[in-house]
Amino acid sequence: MRVLLTGGAGFIGSHIALLLLERGFDVIILDSFVNSSSIVINRIKTFLQNKDLKSKFEYIKGDIRDKNILDNIFIKSIKECKPIDTVIHLAGLKSVSDSLTNPLHYWDVNVRGTLNLLLSMKEYECYSLVFSSSATIYGLSDSVPMSEDHKILPINPYGQTKVAIENMFYDLFNSNIKLWKICSLRYFNPVGAHSSGLIGEDPVGIPNNLFPFLTQVAIGRQKILKVFGDDWDTKDGSGVRDYIHIIDLADGHLASIDYLNSNDSCLEFINLGSGHGYSVFQIIRQFELTTGRKIPFSIQGRRDGDVAKCYADISKAKKLLGWTPKRSLEQICLDGWNWQIKNPNGYC
Ligand SMILES: NC(=O)c1ccc[n+]([C@@H]2O[C@H](COP(=O)([O-])OP(=O)(O)OC[C@H]3O[C@@H](n4cnc5c(N)ncnc54)[C@H](O)[C@@H]3O)[C@@H](O)[C@H]2O)c1
């Protein structure tokens, strides 16, 4: 089977690529490298050499807003008599704060880019899609655990673009072409790294998220971890979130492909998280315990747009996909730290 993986050089995409290749899929990565490094491609090649799977992988540098590039990928695959069976679509922009400053850019890349992709898929009769949606679409609510039936109330342009894309899926599914098979996966917080330490999370600039910030404090790239609020209505006062090991999240995509392959026309919205809420203090303590590193932190005021608790109800993913996250918080800390010490400055 052949998979087109857009955004495959990014944090999540690179981990999915390794799992797909291990499972024997042919993989074509399409990425503009606007938020990733081409070194990722070399790391994937290193992984392939170690496993002797080299022939199954190719990558194309390009933008999903360029329909010619997309068309050419489908045309070439058909000519090679190896048409693309499924698209895993991750290419897009993901910073909430950036989306508030540049909303049109987010609509352009995320929504127009996805529209382009869907047009090409339809033209070349590839109807199977796994998409990277986000728990952000649930907005400001701390009614936990959050199921897929939770109200959709995005509070920023980034979240709005994900909702707009999901609405496109509704319209496609309800159209008279009863061929579309789509899983829209609503991610919670993917963290950690592949256990090889070859690939991991390497945010551009100062990390926005807790886990990469914490590993950068541990390695000495950031001085001190800021904890936003210790007076939340939680067990220890710090905010509670759902952190899922990146390999468990990536596994959810393979389970989704299996699901799409064994079903006719379908559209499913599915949460992918660990199903557990971990507080910031709990993460710090576990990281210190696992790595032996002390994490200096300072308490700051609450941030606008934060909630006390947010974690997923993952019963739908378990039931529908037969998927269940397997890796512990300790494993997350071990693998995340292994990546950071092997790559203290990220991909450079
Ligand atoms: N990381 C998270 O916490 C999280 C949570 C929920 C949803 N998501 C979604 O998952 C997807 C992947 O996230 P990630 O964390 O791997 O992000 P990432 O930025 O590491 O990966 C996205 C990749 O897409 C590429 N890209 C961006 N615009 C492109 C374009 N126009 N054409 C081609 N490639 C382009 C980037 O270069 C990057 O390699 C995103 O769509 C994001 O919105 C991520």
What is the SS3 string spanning the chain?
Answer: CEEEEECCCCHHHHHHHHHHHHCCCEEEEEECCCCCCCHHHHHHHHHHHHHCCHHHEEEEECCCCCHHHHHHHHHHHHHCCCCCCEEEECCCCCCHHHHHHCHHHHHHHHHHHHHHHHHHHHHCCCCEEEEEEEHHHHCCCCCCCECCCCCCCCCCHHHHHHHHHHHHHHHHHCCCCCCCEEEEEEECEEECCCCCCCCCCCCCCCCCCHHHHHHHHHHCCCCCEEEECCCCCCCCCCCEECEEEHHHHHHHHHHHHHHHHCCCCEEEEEEECCCCCEEHHHHHHHHHHHHCCCCCEEEECCCCCCCCEECECCHHHHHHHCCCCCCCHHHHHHHHHHHHHHCCCCCC
200 touches ligand 1 (CB under 6 Å): no
Query: Catalytic residue numbers?
Result: 158
Domain ranges of the chain: 2-194+243-274+312-326
Give nearest CA residue, ligand 1 atom 18.
10
At a CB cut-off of 8 Å and minimum separation 6, what does 304 contact?
none
Q: For ligand 1, is residue 34 a contact (CB within 6 Å)?
A: yes
- For the Cβ of 190 lying below 6 angstroms from any atom of ligand 1, the answer is yes
Instruction: Write down the CATH number for the domain with range 2-194+243-274+312-326.
Output: 3.40.50.720
145: cis peptide before it, omega within 30°?
A: yes
Contact (Cβ atoms closer than 8 angstroms) between residue 183 and residue 260? yes
**Tens digits of pLDDT across the chain (348 residues):** 999 999 999 999 999 999 999 999 999 999 999 999 999 999 999 998 888 776 689 999 999 999 999 999 999 999 999 999 999 999 999 999 999 999 999 999 999 999 999 999 999 999 999 999 999 999 988 789 999 999 999 999 999 999 999 999 999 999 988 999 999 999 999 999 999 999 999 999 999 899 999 999 999 999 999 999 999 999 999 999 999 999 999 999 999 999 999 999 999 999 999 999 999 999 999 999 999 999 999 999 999 888 999 999 999 999 999 999 999 999 999 999 999 999 999 998
The one-letter code for the residue type at 270 is I
Count of alpha carbons within 13 Å of 113, Cβ hemisphere only?
23
- Count how many Cα atoms sit within 13 Å of the Cα of residue 306 in the half-sphere of its side chain: 19
Q: How far is the CA of 316 from the centre of ligand 1 (A)?
A: 24
Quote the pLDDT of residue 338: 98
Report the residue count for the chain. Answer: 348
CB 338 within 8 A of CB 218: no
Per-residue model confidence (pLDDT) at position 55:
63
For ligand 1, atom 35: residue with the closest CA: 91
Cβ(201) – ligand 1 distance below 6 Å: no
* pTM summary value: 0.98
